[in-house]
Amino acid sequence: MNQKRTRRLLIVLVMLAGGFYAFDHFYYKGIQSLEAFSVSYDRFDRAISEFSLTGTADSERQVDGGLRDLRSKAAFRLSSLIKNDGKLMSEALEVAELSGRELASLKAYQGAIQNKSAGGDELSKELGVLSGKRKAAFARFLELAGKGE
């Protein structure tokens, strides 16, 4: 009778340890994904700022690489253990999409300036709007993640 009790206790302990491990693994993987996305966004933000100021081929390569990294980091999946999991995933994808549109608009604007073609004012306004939308979307992401600034 004592062996049965010991065996049951051991099974319960193993199940609890397995449950704790699963919780710990999924929760911390989610937190790591959120942090990686934030770091990637910061890199993209710095790169697009530099590219808008310098317009050099090197800064263009950096911002293109930053956008690729941002898009890949935005495709994370979160466990339901993370608060606002669905909204966070959607917001990250929106940030990446707006970042791509902003970069395309910046390149079009720089091309219009170089070619002295019409439409530069419209492109400049569009660029400002997209930049504002991207920054607002990232602020919403941070708020949902509990890291509001």
In a domain, 95, yes or no: yes
What is the per-residue burial (b if ≥16 Cβ within 10 Å, else e) of 78-110?
beebbeeeeebbebbebbbebbbbbbebbbbbb
In a domain, 73, yes or no: yes
Series of mean pLDDT values for 10-residue runs along the chain (149 residues): 78 65 67 93 97 93 97 87 85 97 94 82 92 97 83
In a domain, 12, yes or no: no
In a domain, 2, yes or no: no
In a domain, 15, yes or no: no
In a domain, 8, yes or no: no
Please give the tally of structural domains in the chain.
Answer: 1
In a domain, 122, yes or no: yes
Residue 80's domain comprises: 31-144
pLDDT of residue 148: 60
Provide the token pair at 115. 């070619």
Kindly report the CATH number assigned to the domain that includes residue 124.
1.20.120
In a domain, 10, yes or no: no
pLDDT of residue 108: 92
Predicted TM-score (pTM) of this structure: 0.82
| DSSP per residue, 50-73 | HHHHH--HHHHHHHHHHHHHHHHH
